[in-house]
Structure 1
């Protein structure tokens, strides 16, 4: 499955969530990640993220069965190219 994940957390938890998400996905911009991930690994990511987060934090995950069903337009500098969208 292909996912795009974005998070919004307080500054003191940003580094921890950044490191966690980078273990599972490709970091493409501040607080934004994308990549191919198995359902089991996605569940692991969600469980670990919940342990780091408090009520005011959020992690939003958009998923698709195939990356080819998404279109990605980058305006400006792309932090890490994944070359999965055309």
Structure 2
């Protein structure tokens, strides 16, 4: 399946250290395309392995990881891991 992973790690509570671990794990499975964005073809098994490796480094109170997955790039399912962004906070 085609996967796009986007993450945002808080700078609080060892955020830099968590960010480094998350970056290295994602780089192992996918291509780094922009700051905290990765993409690539993954099997279901690879996706589960990556998710299990990431879990210890994601603080669900402070961080968020968004996973877009699809058989084709143009049709994506959006899945949130951890804290969801408040989209209304961007309204002025």
Relative contact order, CA 8 A, sep 6+: which one is greater? 1
1:28 is aligned to 33
Root-mean-square deviation over aligned CA pairs: 1.3
2:50 counterpart of 1:45: yes
Secondary structure at the residue paired with 2:59? coil
1:73 is aligned to none
2:69 is aligned to 63
After TM superposition, the runs of 4+ consecutive aligned structure 1 residues lying more than 3 A away are none
1:18 is aligned to 23
Distance 2:16 2:63 in 1: 11
Aligned residues: 69
Q: Deviations over 1:35-86 (max 9, x none)?
A: 100011001111111111112111111001023x36xxxxxxxxxxxxxxxx
User: Which consecutive unaligned segments of at least 5 residues does structure 2 have?
Assistant: 10-14, 76-92
